[in-house]
Amino acid sequence: MTEPAGFEFTPGSRLPGRLGRTGVIRTPHGSIHTPAFIPVGTKATVKAVLPEAMADLGAQALLANAYHLYLQPGADIVDAAGGLGAFMNWPGPTFTDSGGFQVLSLGVGFKKVLAMDVAGVGDDDVIAEGKTRLAHVDDDGVTFTSHLDGSRHRFTPEVSVRIQHQLGADITFAFDECTTLLNTRAYQESSLDRTQAWAARCLAEHDRQTRARSHRPYQALFAVVQGAQHEDLRRRAARDLQALEVDGRRFDGYGIGGALEKENLGTIVGWVCEELAEDKPRHLLGISEPDDFFTAIANGADTFDCVSPSRVARNAAVYSRDGRYNVTTARNRRRFTPIDEGCDCYTCAHYTRAYLHHLFKASEMLACTLCTIHNERFIVRLVDDIRASIVDGTFDDLRAEFLGRYYASRPLLASRAQAPE
RNA sequence: GGCAGGUUGCCCGAGUGGCCAAAGGGAGCAGACUGUAAAUCUGCCGGCUCAGCCUACGUUGGUUCGAACCCAACACCUGCCA
């Protein structure tokens, strides 16, 4: 790993004729070779797994969440601990998300409401099935009701950036509003204007914090490109964010977030990355399905984070080269073979499906640990393999081979094995 | 030996004349999960030739138009008194 230093991105090999590339992100806590998958540890822990195990399975960095850590234990405590990495015993690079996603997940976009016409949701606080909306957006910021104790809190771009500086991650994100595909075009436009305005405020606050805390390692700030499924909005967002300069400071990288339909994910990432200069990293927020990696990487995405590998693992779903399946299914009761014969993870080296099946049935927490280790390894390795394939010039072969096999057992999903456009 | 109570689908358990194939759990089975309010959630869960029919609430018999529910006998089980 590199010596502690500032933030730097160095592009490497290119995917001929496309936007995909390899690269190296240098942070004060080490380097990240891209494309890379960044596992999520929302509350300063990858649920059920030791940080040492995360390092062993090849995680290059971890991503935590500002909203959750602000509520508990409090950003000041993480700061006093010496920052996120020191607090959680993770010596490598760290990311924090801004809390922008919680504007969606705790707001109108949550769960069942997604299935409704958002415009039809009343202006009161009660949404589907008596659930209370926990976040309200206005032009200045967002008011949250804590899901932990019901207390009221307010996030503005300044607050989020300040919190993230206290948390001390190497890479932070601008506070944005995450919308859904169901929002109207008009809402997407006004929301995007708000996100863009917030971006400028984030950059200004980031500049203040960086100078005020010059004794601390440098923290990078990534903008978040929104704009939903609209080409003009996404391109404009990317262009404007890239042009944005406040007090001589610019964004260190870009996040791509918000409403992404699987079908047009590659297209959208492509629009954004076409607008962005090559010398800054691009992080695609919240994506981790195998076909999505190939698509997004081909279109210029460098890093990814997603809760899916760990959440799904805790619910007994595991990845294999032949697709994802649930270990709790009855046919695994007597299968004394690993989750995936070709996997090099700790779990596959030592445990059988029958044992994992037993652990889940017996509600033993080791089940969560072992399956999370496997899933995180599987996904980290897949993206590592894609990186290697870009260097080798075998990207398309890997895509066809991997996805062909991955979706072979699910005829209805076979189309995912085809390269789009 | 006396008094009292109980026996419900794989398990626990509600129901005490018709709206009961029978609430609710659990187990079992299947599925979902993409910037984590998620070790969560959803569906199925007696059988069949499945808009109907059959078999079922300890056993047998009875009352009733109709019984898991009322009566009788029997068989187990559980408390308190000996």
Instruction: List, as one string, the DSSP characters of A75-114.
Output: HHHHHHTTSHHHHHT--S-EEEE-SHHHHHHTTTTSGGGG
Give this complex's ipTM. 0.89
User: Can you give the pLDDT at residue A181?
Assistant: 82
Nucleotides of B under 7 A from a protein CB: 27-41
Question: Is residue A151 pLDDT above 80, yes or no?
Answer: yes
Q: How far is the CA of A40 from the C1' of B41 (A)?
A: 21
The span from the CA of A312 to the CA of A307, in Å, is 8
Mean pLDDT of chain A: 92
Q: Which residues pair with A304 in a beta bridge?
A: A37, A284
pLDDT, tens digit (0-9, with 9 covering 90-100), for A183-231: 889 999 999 999 999 999 999 999 999 999 999 999 999 999 999 999 9
The span from the CA of A149 to the CA of A71, in Å, is 10
User: Can you give the pLDDT at residue A410?
Assistant: 79
Q: Is the separation of the CB atoms in A265 and A237 below 8 Å?
A: no
Question: Is residue A109 pLDDT above 60, yes or no?
Answer: no
The span from the CA of A34 to the CA of A223, in Å, is 18
Section A3-16 average pLDDT: 85
Q: How far is the CA of A328 from the C1' of B23 (A)?
A: 29
Question: Is residue A354 pLDDT above 60, yes or no?
Answer: yes
Closest CA to A62 of A171, A225, A219, A154: A171
User: Can you give the pLDDT at residue A110?
Assistant: 53
pLDDT band at A280 (very low <50, low <70, confident <90, very high): very high
User: Which residues of chain A between 88 and 117 are close to nucleic strand B, CB under 7 A?
Assistant: 97-98, 100-102, 104-106, 110-111
Q: How far is the CA of A84 from the C1' of B22 (A)?
A: 56
Query: Could you tell me which residue, A278 or A108, shows the higher pLDDT?
Result: A278
Question: Is residue A114 pLDDT above 70, yes or no?
Answer: no
Question: Is residue A4 pLDDT above 80, yes or no?
Answer: no
The span from the CA of A304 to the CA of A389, in Å, is 17
Section A167-195 average pLDDT: 93
Residue A8 Cα distances to A216, A252, A286, A314, angstroms: 17, 8, 23, 35
The span from the CA of A81 to the CA of A75, in Å, is 10
What percent of chain A shows pLDDT beyond 90?
83
Place of tokens 């046919």: A331
Cα R_g (chain A), whole angstroms: 21
Indicate the range of A54-58, A258-262, A347-351 predicted with least confidence. Answer: A258-262
User: Can you give the pLDDT at residue A415?
Assistant: 82
User: Which residues of chain A between 318 and 377 are close to nucleic strand B, CB under 7 A?
Assistant: 325-326, 328-331, 333, 361, 363, 365, 368
What percent of chain A shows pLDDT beyond 70?
92
Q: Beta A135-137 vs A94-97: how paired, if at all?
A: unpaired
A416, closest nucleotide (Cα–C1'): B34
User: Can you give the pLDDT at residue A124?
Assistant: 39
Closest CA to A40 of A406, A303, A316: A303
